[in-house]
C-alpha cells in the first residue's frame, strides 16, 4: 500500500472515530432522541453495515461461519461501551467526553500490560503518572469540571472498550469478529430500550444521526481502520489514535459552539502527552 493511500485511510478512520462523539453529542443535544434509542439504533445499524461488508468481501457460503467468530463476552463489553457512551454524552461536552473515553481506553490497556507482567521503563512510569494526574486534574471539583455522573459513565465506556480491544488483539480477521460482536450486542441494546420505554423519544433527525454513527463511524470506520492496520506497527497505530480527542474537540467547537477551557487544555496535554510517552518509549 502506498504511503499516500495509507495516510488517506488512516485519516478517514480517525475522522470516523471522532464522528461517533460528534454524532452522539449533536443528536442528544439538538434532537428529541433519547440515549437508549440512540444506542440501539447505532448498534443495529452498525451490525447491518458490518454484515454487508463481510458478505461483500466473502462468498455467500462462508458468511454464516465467518459471522460466528464473535463471542458473547466481547459483545457485552461492546454493549457496555456503547450504552455508557450515549448516556455520558447527555451532560458531557464533545471534547471532554472524547478525552475521558480515549484516556480510559489506553490506561486500561496499559494497566492490563502491567498486571500481566510487562515491565515499564522510567520514562513510561513518568508518562503513566502524568496521564493519571491529568485525569484527576480534569475531574477535580470546580467551575469547569465536567459533571461527575457523565464523567464516570464515560470512564466506564472507555474501560469497556479497552476490555473489548484486549479481547480482540489476537483476532486474525477483526472485521469479521467485530461484525459478529455487533450482531450479538444489538439485541442486548434493544432490551435496554425496553427498560427505558417510558422515556423513549425519537425524531427523524435523531434517528439519522444514530444511523450515521452506526453505519459511517462504526461500521465503515472500523472496516477502513482494519484495512490500514496491517501496514502500521503497534506504536504508530496507538500514536495515530491520539488525534481523536483533538478532532472531536474541534468538531464540538464547529458544530455545537462548545468552548475550550484552560482545565481541558491542560488535562489534554497531560493525558495525551503521558500516554504518548508510554507508547513511544516501548522497546
At 183-206, the pLDDT tens digits run 999 999 999 999 999 989 999 999
**Domain spans of the chain, in order of start:** 3-280
The pTM of the full predicted model, rounded to 2 decimals, is: 0.90
At 122-181, the pLDDT tens digits run 888 898 899 989 888 888 777 677 899 999 999 999 999 999 988 877 677 888 888 999
> How far is residue 22's CA from residue 36's CA, in Å, rounded to a whole number?
17
SS (H, E, C) the chain: CCHHHHHHHHHHHHHHHHHHHHHHHHHHHHCCCCHHHHHHHHHHHHHHHHHHHHHHHCCHHHHHHHHCCCCHHHHHHHHHHHHHHHHHCCCCCHHHHHHHHHHHHHHHHHHHHHHCCCCCCHHHHHHHHHHHHHHHHHHCCCCCCCCHHHHHHHHHHHHHHHHHHHHCCCCCCHHHHHHHHHHHHHHHHHHHHHHCHHHCCCCHHHHHHHHHHHHHHHHHHHHHHHHHHHHCCHHHHHHHHHHHHHHHHHHHHHHHCCCCCHHHHHHHHHHHHHHHHHHHCCC
> How far is residue 15's CA from residue 29's CA, in Å, rounded to a whole number?
21
Distance from chain centroid for Cα 18 = 8
| 158 φψ region: left (φ > 0), alpha (ψ -120 to 50), beta (else) | alpha
At 43-97, the pLDDT tens digits run 999 999 998 988 887 654 455 555 557 789 999 999 999 999 999 999 999 999 9
Q: Who contacts 197 (Cβ-Cβ below 8 Å, separation ≥6)? A: none
Q: Supply the pLDDT for residue 252.
A: 92
At 3-54, the pLDDT tens digits run 788 889 999 999 999 999 999 999 999 999 999 999 999 999 999 999 898 8
Q: Quote the cell numbers at residue 252.
A: 464540538
Amino acid at each position: 500500500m502506498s504511503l499516500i493511500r495509507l495516510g488517506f485511510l488512516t485519516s478517514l478512520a480517525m475522522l470516523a472515530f471522532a464522528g461517533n462523539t460528534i454524532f452522539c453529542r449533536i443528536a442528544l443535544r439538538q434532537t428529541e432522541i433519547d440515549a437508549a434509542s440512540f444506542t440501539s439504533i447505532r448498534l443495529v445499524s452498525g451490525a447491518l453495515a458490518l454484515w454487508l461488508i463481510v458478505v461483500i468481501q466473502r462468498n455467500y457460503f462462508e458468511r454464516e461461519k465467518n459471522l460466528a467468530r464473535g463471542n458473547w463476552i466481547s459483545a457485552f463489553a461492546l454493549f457496555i461501551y456503547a450504552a455508557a457512551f450515549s448516556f455520558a454524552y447527555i451532560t458531557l461536552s464533545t471534547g471532554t467526553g472524547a478525552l475521558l473515553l480515549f484516556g480510559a481506553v489506553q490506561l486500561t490497556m496499559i494497566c492490563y500490560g502491567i498486571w500481566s507482567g510487562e515491565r515499564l521503563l522510567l520514562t513510561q512510569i513518568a508518562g503513566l503518572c502524568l496521564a493519571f494526574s491529568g485525569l484527576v486534574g480534569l475531574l477535580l471539583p470546580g467551575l469547569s469540571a465536567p459533571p461527575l455522573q457523565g464523567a464516570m459513565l464515560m470512564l466506564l465506556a472507555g474501560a469497556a472498550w479497552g476490555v473489548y480491544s484486549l479481547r480482540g488483539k489476537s483476532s486474525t480477521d477483526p472485521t469479521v469478529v467485530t461484525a459478529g460482536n455487533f450482531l450479538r450486542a444489538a439485541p442486548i441494546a434493544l432490551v435496554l430500550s425496553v427498560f427505558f420505554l417510558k422515556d423513549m423519544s425519537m425524531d427523524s433527525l435523531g434517528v439519522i444521526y444514530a444511523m450515521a454513527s452506526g453505519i459511517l463511524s462504526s461500521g465503515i470506520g472500523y472496516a477502513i481502520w482494519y484495512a490500514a492496520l496491517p501496514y502500521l506497527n503497534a506504536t504508530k497505530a496507538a500514536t495515530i489514535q491520539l488525534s481523536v480527542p483533538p478532532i472531536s474537540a474541534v468538531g464540538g467547537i464547529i458544530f455545537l459552539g462548545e468552548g475550550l477551557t484552560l482545565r481541558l487544555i491542560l488535562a489534554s496535554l497531560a493525558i495525551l502527552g503521558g500516554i504518548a510517552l508510554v507508547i513511544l518509549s516501548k522497546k
